[in-house]
């Protein structure tokens, strides 16, 4: 069966039954989206590790997935918890090593525009959004990313978080 012929629910059911390849297909289907969430929530420099962490936690938590919410909402919930845990951990680190933490990294992918002015405006917008997200408490970052950037409905966000 081709990768696109199975629903997320079917892939997760197969994965729960021990089919590791099914979980691999699920990861490939959602990796780009989860990476985008994490880049916006924790910054581009940490997005790869954070994305890997989300899928590792999802794999370890397959048995707990009850199917009451869509798999995408389940992943968003795991991502939200990963973001909160990351910032809790950094907060503890900062208390121990005050002043030694570098927060200069941020989300700055290459801008796509029609010209240098468009590229500059897009880059500035991304920088402002990244700075604004950094100012939010960690528990509010994923809801803002999902609603205002990913354009999820409030019902979808409520299910996932």
Contact predicate 6/22, CB 8 Å: yes
The two tokens of residue 50 are: 């954070």
pLDDT at 129: 72
Q: CA-CA distance, 129 to 149, in Å (whole number)?
A: 10
d(CA 154, CA 44) in angstroms, rounded, equals 26
The CA distance from 89 to 46, in Å, is 14
R_g over Cα of the chain:
17
- What per-residue confidence (pLDDT) applies to 110? 42
Which pLDDT tens digits describe the chain residue by residue (161 residues)?
445 588 999 999 999 999 999 999 999 999 999 999 888 888 888 889 999 999 999 999 998 888 888 898 899 889 988 888 877 655 543 443 343 334 444 444 444 456 666 666 666 766 777 777 777 777 777 787 777 767 777 777 777 76
**CA dist., res. 50 & res. 42, Å (int):** 8
The pLDDT, as a whole number, for residue 121 is 67
In this predicted structure, what is the pLDDT of residue 69?
A: 82
Q: Are 157 and 144 in contact (CB under 8 A)?
A: no
Nearest to 36 by CA among 25, 28, 44: 44
Cβ 108 vs Cβ 134: under 8 Å: no
CB 64 within 8 Å of CB 12: no
pLDDT for 95:
42
């Amino acid at each position: 069966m081709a990768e696109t012929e199975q629903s997320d629910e079917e892939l997760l059911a197969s994965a729960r039954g021990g089919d590791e390849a099914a979980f691999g297909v699920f990861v490939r289907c959602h990796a780009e989206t989860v990476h985008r969430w994490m880049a916006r929530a924790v910054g581009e420099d940490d997005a790869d590790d954070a994305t890997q962490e989300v899928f590792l936690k999802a794999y370890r938590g397959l048995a707990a997935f009850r199917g009451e919410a869509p798999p995408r909402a389940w992943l968003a919930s795991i991502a939200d918890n990963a973001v909160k845990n990351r910032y809790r951990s950094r907060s503890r680190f900062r208390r121990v090593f005050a002043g030694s933490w570098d927060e200069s990294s941020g989300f700055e992918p290459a801008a796509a525009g029609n010209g240098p002015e468009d590229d500059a405006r897009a880059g500035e917008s991304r920088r402002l959004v990244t700075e604004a997200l950094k100012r939010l408490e960690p528990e509010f970052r994923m809801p803002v990313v999902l609603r205002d950037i990913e354009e999820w409905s409030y019902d979808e966000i409520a299910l996932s978080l």
